[in-house]
Amino acid sequence: MPMRNLKRVRPLLLLAIFGAVMTALAACTPHHGQSTFGPAGPIAERQKDLFVLIFWVAMAVLVVVEAVIIVLTLKFRRRASTTGVPEQTHGNQRLEIAWTIAPALILAVIAIPTVSMIFSLDREATSAAGNLEVVVTGHQWWWEVQYTGEDVVSANEVHIPVGVPVRVVLESDDVIHSFWVPKLAGKVDLIPTRTNQLVMEASEPGVFFGQCAEFCGEAHALMRFRVVAHQPDDFRAWLDGMRRPALAPEPGSLAATGQGIFAGNCSMCHSASTADARSARAERSVQHTRQAAFLADPKGTRIISAPNLTHLATRLTLGAGLVDFNEAELTAWIKDPGSVKPGNRMEALAQVYRAGGLSDDQIKAVVAYLMTLKPAPPGESSLPPAPSADPVARGKQIFASAGCSGCHSTGSDAILGPGLGGIAQRAANRKSGMSASDYLHESIVNPTAYIVQGFSPVMPGNFGQTLTAADIDALVAYLETLP
């Protein structure tokens, strides 16, 4: 190239190089919430150190190879004095052996620490189960979170104590997802029918960003979550809170109206009362049943597994880590979930959204109810404050507040359990020698004594403990009135 052209090109070239370098450097800012260069725990720190080691090895290779290329291009370039075709050479055994062995050695140097760290982190994940084990199940496009042995279920938020490695068990109910908390641990895939694991540890309390890192469908980029690291005492307090039910709304209040709307339109997909241990333990099979209903008829279904909403009002975000949790965002979500998170399955499948959505008054009531979903102060009863004296009215109240309406309609529609319309007539024939009211009583306190044909045994078995004898009698009285 003549010298004159080269001069004109140089400023442009410099500008391009400058731009590329600045872009590359900007990606390395350790303060960004999703940067792997600012680890917040020892495991992420070790992974970063390994990356840095590989980076410098790669840099050395780059410098040597580039230097050789530059020297050779300059030294053997075509000159004015060059005539004809240069001398041709074929093969050089010593060089070929050298450049086969050198890369093999370099790869071996990189492979030893990499492979040994993969295996050692897997061993550490297994042994971390003794501290705390969290089972995370991937769904399109949100995260189910269970605390093994703690009987606590949540969604889109993983709480951990600081200073101890935590085992995260990774499963999927649909397609492949990938669990990634850049500041705490490298990513591991969630694969249907398989169980994977990773170990993560935070050294300081804080909130850390998580993200699905495997393309999993339309709303993949909007499948995020948070990891909240607490001091160990605060973490225990959080777990205890998750196990205390919310205060039931005052009868006649806006929230009580909202609870009724929720029971009729939302609770077939969302559990909102798994504070008690048995319901928490039943949650996985309930979600599985919902997912099976979806898989059996993906277009026609009105049911699919969905985030557990127990103590929703204590969460940091909505829509799987997408927007902050507050009343305004919650209202926007319930009015039109698609405007907050395009592609979400709630809007696509829920009967109420297919039919045009809730009215503004209904939305206000549902929001008022959802804002009550937080742990009751320790020692306070969660039952409705002013029990109705009339057993049938009381039974109706409990049917909504104890979560029965999440699985049972009062007509003939099956949700997860059979529709209970006309149950008094059918009940008399269910078990010979048993009266309708005895059968209903048994169905509530001991649901596995008789499994209705065509249904799975997912009804929680603890109503005998969480409800008083008078509550159960009231429920039976109410069920007997259903036409």
Report the partner that residue 457 touches, choosing among ligand HEC, Cu ion, none (CB closer than 5 to 8 A by kind): ligand HEC
Length of the chain: 483
> Of 105-113, 177-185, 345-353, 422-430, which segment contacts Cu ion by CB under 5 A?
177-185
d(CA 338, CA 68): 56
> Of 202-210, 223-231, 310-318, 431-439, which segment contacts Cu ion by CB under 5 A?
223-231
Q: Does 373 bind Cu ion (CB under 5 A)?
A: no
Rg of the Cα trace of the chain?
30
Question: Among 190, 200, 320, 383, which residue interacts with ligand HEC (rule: CB under 6 A)?
Answer: 320
d(CA 359, CA 101): 72
User: Quick one: residue 82, left, alpha or beta (phi over 0 = left, psi -120 to 50 = alpha)?
Assistant: beta
Q: Does 238 bind ligand HEC (CB under 6 A)?
A: no
Q: Does 269 bind ligand HEC (CB under 6 A)?
A: yes
Q: Which of 288, 15, 304, 284 is nearest to 169 (CA)?
A: 284
Can you tell me whether residue 154 is helix, strand or coil?
strand
Long-range CB contacts (within 8 A, 24+) of 451-455: 452/417, 452/418, 455/414, 455/416, 455/417, 455/418
Q: Does 373 bind ligand HEC (CB under 6 A)?
A: no
- For ligand HEC, give the closer residue by CB, 257 or 265: 265
Q: Does 48 bind Cu ion (CB under 5 A)?
A: no
Give per-residue burial for 204-241: e unless 16+ CB within 10 Å, then b: ebeebbbbbbbebeebbebbbbbbbbbeeeebeebbeb
> Of 68-76, 233-241, 378-386, 412-420, which segment contacts ligand HEC by CB under 6 A?
412-420
Neighbouring CB atoms inside 10 A of 244's CB total 18
Report the partner that residue 306 touches, choosing among Cu ion, ligand HEC, none (CB closer than 5 to 8 A by kind): ligand HEC
Give the interface size with ligand HEC as a residue count (CB under 6 A): 59
Question: Among 59, 451, 469, 470, which residue interacts with ligand HEC (rule: CB under 6 A)?
Answer: 451
> Of 97-105, 177-185, 384-392, 441-449, which segment contacts ligand HEC by CB under 6 A?
441-449
DSSP letter string, 355-383: TT---HHHHHHHHHHHTT-SBPPTT---S
> Of 8-16, 19-27, 95-103, 448-456, which segment contacts ligand HEC by CB under 6 A?
448-456
User: Quick one: residue 447, left, alpha or beta (phi over 0 = left, psi -120 to 50 = alpha)?
Assistant: alpha
* Distance in Å, CB of 137 to Cu ion, minimum: 11
d(CA 104, CA 345): 49
Residues in CB range of 387: below 8 A, 6 or more apart:
394, 397
Q: Does 245 bind ligand HEC (CB under 6 A)?
A: no
d(CA 35, CA 70): 34
Q: Does 156 bind ligand HEC (CB under 6 A)?
A: yes
d(CA 377, CA 379): 6
d(CA 141, CA 156): 10
> Of 14-22, 102-110, 113-121, 337-345, which segment contacts ligand HEC by CB under 6 A?
337-345
* Distance in Å, CB of 408 to ligand HEC, minimum: 5
| Cα separations in angstroms, 171 against 189, 273, 295 | 8, 23, 17
- For ligand HEC, give the closer residue by CB, 47 or 397: 397
Q: Does 177 bind Cu ion (CB under 5 A)?
A: yes
Can you tell me whether residue 396 is helix, strand or coil?
helix
Q: Does 273 bind ligand HEC (CB under 6 A)?
A: no
- For ligand HEC, give the closer residue by CB, 40 or 366: 366
Q: Does 141 bind ligand HEC (CB under 6 A)?
A: yes
Site for ligand HEC in 28-67 (CB under 6 A): none
Q: Which of 307, 301, 367 is nearest to 341 (CA)?
A: 307
Report the partner that residue 136 touches, choosing among Cu ion, ligand HEC, none (CB closer than 5 to 8 A by kind): none
Q: Does 441 bind Cu ion (CB under 5 A)?
A: no
Question: Among 44, 424, 444, 474, which residue interacts with ligand HEC (rule: CB under 6 A)?
Answer: 444
Give per-residue burial for 362-391: e unless 16+ CB within 10 Å, then b: bbbbbbbbbebbbbbeeeeebbbeebeeeb
Q: Does 384 bind ligand HEC (CB under 6 A)?
A: no
* Distance in Å, CB of 334 to Cu ion, minimum: 24
Q: Does 198 bind ligand HEC (CB under 6 A)?
A: no
Report the partner that residue 177 touches, choosing among ligand HEC, Cu ion, none (CB closer than 5 to 8 A by kind): Cu ion
Please tell me the chain's helix, strand, coil percentages from 3-state DSSP, rounded to the nearest 5: 45, 15, 40
Q: Does 142 bind ligand HEC (CB under 6 A)?
A: yes
DSSP label of 246: B
Question: Among 136, 145, 160, 223, which residue interacts with Cu ion (rule: CB under 5 A)?
Answer: 223
Q: Does 212 bind Cu ion (CB under 5 A)?
A: yes
Q: Which residues bind Cu ion (CB under 5 A)?
A: 177, 212, 216, 223
Q: Which residues bind ligand HEC (CB under 6 A)?
A: 141-142, 155-156, 219, 262, 265-266, 268-270, 286, 302-304, 306-307, 309, 318-320, 333-334, 341, 344-346, 349-350, 352, 358, 366, 402-404, 406-408, 416-418, 423, 426, 430, 440, 443-444, 447, 450-452, 455-460, 463, 475
